[in-house]
Structure 1
C-alpha cells in the first residue's frame, strides 16, 4: 500500500541517495544514488526516482541534508539546491516531510549498521562502556560531526557545523599550510582542509613546497595515486590529510567525551582509509597533553557503508 511506504533520502553536496522504507527499515533493493549535477532541483531527482522504481508516492519522507536545519526550507551549504517541504510534498503526494541534518541521520544509524560494515581503526585494550557517548565524524564534500548520547528516555543526537570551526595547527609546517589555505579568506576552516576540495588544496601546497608543478588531478585521482604510491606528492598529501584528521577528531573526542567510540565516515575518509593505519593518524589523535591517556582509550572505527544515513532516516519515521 502506498500509504505504508516512506521515502528516506540523503542529500549530500555531490550525490543524492534515496530508498523506500517499510516498518522503519530501508528496502535495500530500492536504494538508488544520483549525482546532483544530473538534476536542476531536488524535486526533479525525487520525481525521477519514483518513476525509476515504479512508486506513485509515499506517505512520509525523512530527508537528511548537508546543511543546518532551521525550518521547512533548507539551503544546502555546498550545493546551490534549496529544499522545500511543500514542493517535495507535492512530488510525493504527502504532507509529512521532515528534514534532519545528514550527520544526525548518520548518528541515528549506528545501531542499524551491519557489523561487517564497521572496520576497526584504533582498538585500545580497554572495553568501551555500552552506554557511553559516541561520535560520528566524516569528510567528503564537506566536514561535520554529530554526537549520540544514551539517556533513560531514549537517544539524543546533537547537530552542529563542525566543519566551519577553525582548523588547528601545531607545527611550523601546519602553520604554513594553514596560511596557504587561509589566503584571501581571513582564516582556514576545518572543512577547508578536510574535504574533497581540501585534499586538492593540500596537494597544491605540497607541490609548491617540493618545487614541482601540480598536475590537474581531481581529489579522487590524488587519493588513488596515494593508495598506489605512484606519486610522492600524492602520498605526502594523504599523510598530511590524515594527520589533520587525527588532530581534529582527537579534539572532538575531548569536546564530546565520546568514550563509546568514534565512527569515521565520508567519501574522502574512505578513499584514504589505508592511511588511517599509519602512525600519522594515531599520533595526532592521541597527542592531547594531559588528556592523552583519556583519548588513547577511545576506540575509533570506520563506517564502510555509503548508505548508512538512509537507515538513520528510516529510524526517525513515525
Structure 2
C-alpha cells in the first residue's frame, strides 16, 4: 500500500474527477474521470478510483461538489447523490474529509492555471488591476460563479448559487423564449438557459419559432452543428445562448466589480467558444447603460482545463 498526502475530487452533475495530491500538487499521472451514472453513490465512485490506483492510503480528502455546502449532509442539485463526510471518510480509511463548492475550488485554482490553458475572449487593451476582484463563471450540467478577493489574509473565494437567479430578458422574442423555458416550472432561472439542457431547450424553441419540428439532438450535437453551420436553428440557438451568457456575466461583473477579469469555464461554454467571438456575446456583455465604459474595461478569458478544480482542492488542502 502506498501513502498519499490526500485525495482531490471534483464532482459535478455528470462526471467525477479525482486525483492524488503530493506536496500540495496534483499528481497528473493519477487524474481520472468517471461517469456518475455508473455508480450508485459517491462512496462507490471513490472506492473504485482507490481500487484502480492500488489502494493508496490518503491522509485527507478535499471534495468539491456541485451543490450548496451547508451542514453535514450535502445533496447535489443536478444529480441524486447525497454526501456524508463520515461515510466517505470510512472509504478512505478514516481520513478527514473537507467539502467545497465546485466553484470555490475553481476559484482557488486560478493562481495555479497554466497561461497556455487560457484563451483571450475579450481584451480591452488596459492593464489588469492588481489585487482587484476576479470572477470564474461556468456553464455545463448547471451554471454558477465564484468571486476571488485579495485581503490581508490572502486569497478568499466567495460562492453562491447564482444559476438559480431569475433569467433576465430584453426583447419580445426573448420573453417568448423565457415563457418556453418556464413552462411547468413557474419561472425561468439562469441555469434553465445557460446549461446543456438549456441549450437543448433553446434549440427546441428556435425550431418551433421557425415553424419546424425540432430533431432529437444532444447539446453536444447542437453545438457541433452550430459550429459547422450545418443547421440554421442550431446556429441561432448558439447565438441566443451566448447572448444570455454575455448579459449574465456583465451583470455579475457589476455586482462584484470584477475589475481583475472574468474567466469562463464549463463544457458547454467551451463547446461554443467560436460564438464567444461574435458580436452577440460582447454586445450583451458591455450593454450596461451608464456603466458600459466600466464593464467594457474588464477582460474575459476562456479556461480550457476540465480538471482545474482539482488544483483548487489541492490548494485548499495545503492552506
Band of TM-score, shorter chain: over 0.9
Task: Provide the rounded CA distance (Å) in 1 between the counterparts of 2:125 and 2:104.
Answer: 29
> For residue 8 of structure 1, what is the aligned residue in structure 2?
8
Task: Provide the rounded CA distance (Å) in 2 between the counterparts of 1:264 and 1:23.
Answer: 28
The answer (yes or no) to whether the contact 2:25–2:314 under 8 Å persists in 1 is yes
Q: CA RMSD in A?
A: 1.0
> For residue 262 of structure 2, what is the aligned residue in structure 1?
262
Task: Provide the rounded CA distance (Å) in 1 between the counterparts of 2:31 and 2:3.
Answer: 19
Query: How do residues 60-139 of structure 1 correspond to structure 2 at under 5 angstroms?
Result: 60-139=60-139
The answer (yes or no) to whether the contact 2:134–2:147 under 8 Å persists in 1 is yes
Task: Provide the rounded CA distance (Å) in 2 between the counterparts of 1:12 and 1:229.
Answer: 30
Task: Provide the rounded CA distance (Å) in 2 between the counterparts of 1:142 and 1:184.
Answer: 19
> For residue 44 of structure 1, what is the aligned residue in structure 2?
44
> For residue 231 of structure 2, what is the aligned residue in structure 1?
231
Task: Provide the rounded CA distance (Å) in 1 between the counterparts of 2:105 and 2:210.
Answer: 41
The answer (yes or no) to whether the contact 2:3–2:56 under 8 Å persists in 1 is no
Distance apart, 1:3 and its partner CA: 5.0
Task: Provide the rounded CA distance (Å) in 2 between the counterparts of 1:316 and 1:55.
Answer: 23
Instruction: Note the alpha carbon deviations across 1:130-170, whole angstroms, 9 max, x for none.
Output: 21100000000000000000112211100100000000001
Task: Provide the rounded CA distance (Å) in 2 between the counterparts of 1:293 and 1:94.
Answer: 54
Distance apart, 1:57 and its partner CA: 2.6
> Which 4+ stretches in 1 moved above 2 angstroms?
1-5
User: Runs of 5+ in structure 2 lacking a partner?
Assistant: none
> For residue 58 of structure 1, what is the aligned residue in structure 2?
58
The answer (yes or no) to whether the contact 1:57–1:94 under 8 Å persists in 2 is no
Distance apart, 1:72 and its partner CA: 2.3
Task: Provide the rounded CA distance (Å) in 1 between the counterparts of 2:144 and 2:169.
Answer: 18
TM-score normalized with structure 2 length: 0.98
User: Runs of 5+ in structure 1 lacking a partner?
Assistant: none
Distance apart, 1:125 and its partner CA: 1.4
**How many residues are paired up?**
318
Task: Provide the rounded CA distance (Å) in 1 between the counterparts of 2:214 and 2:4.
Answer: 53
